[in-house]
Structure formats: structure tokens, C-alpha cells
Amino acid sequence: MRNMPDSDALERAKKLVQKSNKITAMTGAGISVDSGIPDFRSEGGLWERYDPHEYATIESFMQNPTKFWTMGRELAETILNAEPNSAHRGLSKLEADGKMIGIITLNIDNLHQAAGNSRVVELHGNYLRAHCIECNEEYIGETVHQSVANGEIPPRCEKCNGVLKSEAILFGEPLPENAMAEATVMCRDTDLMLVIGTSLTIYPAAYLPQIAKNSGAKIILVNLEGTNRDSVADIVLKGRATEIIPKIVEG
């Protein structure tokens, strides 16, 4: 196994999980890499092929939605083919065991819901939901993105023929207020926060673990390269989420 933390740190993390009953997870791109969804910012990621300022800002979308959906065709193919991995399933097990109060995610891939978690706060939206920018008709599920994968760009509303926009948050759009408020409440209510697969560099989301810490929670950070805020953690576990999470949630 590569980059596995020492057994003592794993055992301490496992004991924290065992004695906690109000666990929250905060997840980023790193938890989904082993499901076949590369980190957008990493080598080979989406931003290496598509300039986000040209393809993924709210301004560029309103000017030319075809550009976003051209990039979106590749993204749709990746997300529609992805399945939850052992880290997602580990978090689902915590909910099934009655130990988890919810997940806060920066991801747009719907994999936590697919794994079985019921309370998922999506700070960056969900790529599998869309709405019409003219009449606000909502589209949920794979239909829109399957049509995009088939070359229908941009997808249009069946009611008014308006352009559809994915509910994934674009650069220049604010985080959804309700989601951020719910995430903050969750952080204040938790006794243990698992921060998984995010480098904690984007604010205000990066401050959420500090809110949990200030409210008395323990913090376990799980990331391949560490994070921008390792100092907030009680335990730092460097390695792949798919290898670490199953080890600390078992039992």
C-alpha cells in the first residue's frame, strides 16, 4: 500500500470513530478519484483541457452556453459511468450504524447519495440536476446529461425551449445560502468531523472544520498530500481515502 499512515494513527482514528455518535464528513474531489472522477485541478484533470475562465464561469455560460455544455459532455460521460467506492460505502455504513448526522460535500457527482447517505449538503450543487434559465423548470436525473452525451448541445427545456443550466455551481456564482447555513449548523452539532479528500484551500468552505473544532469536535483529516489547514486536526492520515476510510469505520 502506498502512503499509508502508521498503525498507531489509524488505531487512534478508529477509536475516535467508535466512541463518536454525531459524526460529520466533509468531502472533496479526493474521495471520488478512485471512482474514476479525476480532480479537476490535477494533472490530466478537466481544467488542463478546458480553461475554466472560458468554459465554466457564470458570465461565459450566459454569453455562450454551448461552450459549457461542450465541456459538460465529457463531464457527463465521466460522472454517469462512476460508481461509489469503498470510501463512499464506508461513510454510508456510519449512517446505517446510526453514528453519522450528515455529509458536507464539495463534489457534484451524486456518489454519496448513490452509496446510501440520506443527508448530503452539496456546497457546489449537483451535476445531475438542471433547470431552465427561462421558466425555471427543474430536471432531475440522467436524462439531460444523457442527451448531452448524445450531442444535444446546449440541452433545451421541453416546456419553453429555454437553455438548461446544470445546478453545479460555476465560477462567479455564490455558494447556495441554504446549503452553507445547513453545513454550519451541522458543524456546530458534530462530535467528530472526518475531512476527506480536500486540501481546504477554498473559502468559506475551508473554515468549516474550524467551526466544528471551536464547538468541541475532534477532527480527522484524510488526504493524499495533507491539507492547507493540518493544524486544525487531531489526527492527520495521509493516503488514499479508499484505503483509509474502510480501516477506521470497520467494527
Q: Are strands 235-238 and 218-223 parallel, antiparallel or unpaired?
A: parallel
How much of the chain is helix, strand and coil, in % rounded to 5?
45, 15, 40
Are 27 and 70 within one domain? no
Are 88 and 193 within one domain? yes
The per-residue pLDDT string of the chain (251 residues; one tens digit each, 9 = 90 and over) reads 455 667 888 999 999 999 999 999 999 999 999 998 877 666 666 767 888 888 889 999 999 999 999 888 888 878 888 899 999 999 999 999 999 999 999 999 999 999 999 999 999 999 889 999 999 999 987 778 777 877 889 999 999 999 999 999 999 998 889 999 999 999 999 999 999 999 888 888 889 999 999 999 999 999 987 666 678 899 999 999 999 999 999 85
Are 147 and 68 within one domain? yes
Are 89 and 76 within one domain? no
Identify the domain boundary among 115, 140, 167: 167
Are 208 and 150 within one domain? no
- Report which residue type is found at 46: L
Pick from 85, 93, 117: nearest CA to 104: 117
CATH code of the domain covering residue 247: 3.40.50.1220
Q: How many CB atoms lie within 10 A of CB 35?
A: 22
Q: How far apart are CA 25 and CA 85, in angstroms?
A: 15
CATH code of the domain covering residue 152: 3.30.1600.10
88 is catalytic: no
Are 121 and 136 within one domain? no
Are 69 and 179 within one domain? no
Are 247 and 207 within one domain? yes
Pick from 100, 105, 113: nearest CA to 189: 100
Are 30 and 135 within one domain? no
Identify the domain boundary among 144, 167, 190: 167
Are 184 and 227 within one domain? yes
Are 29 and 59 within one domain? no
Which entry of 88, 112, 124, 145 is annotated as an active-site residue?
124
- Report which residue type is found at 28: G
Q: Model pTM? A: 0.89
**3-class DSSP assignment, residue 194:** strand
Q: How far apart are CA 42 and CA 17, in angstroms?
A: 30
Radius of gyration of the chain (CA): 18
Are 92 and 10 within one domain? yes
For 198, the domain range is 1-36+84-125+174-251
User: What is the count of structural domains for the chain?
Assistant: 2
Identify the domain boundary among 151, 167, 183: 167
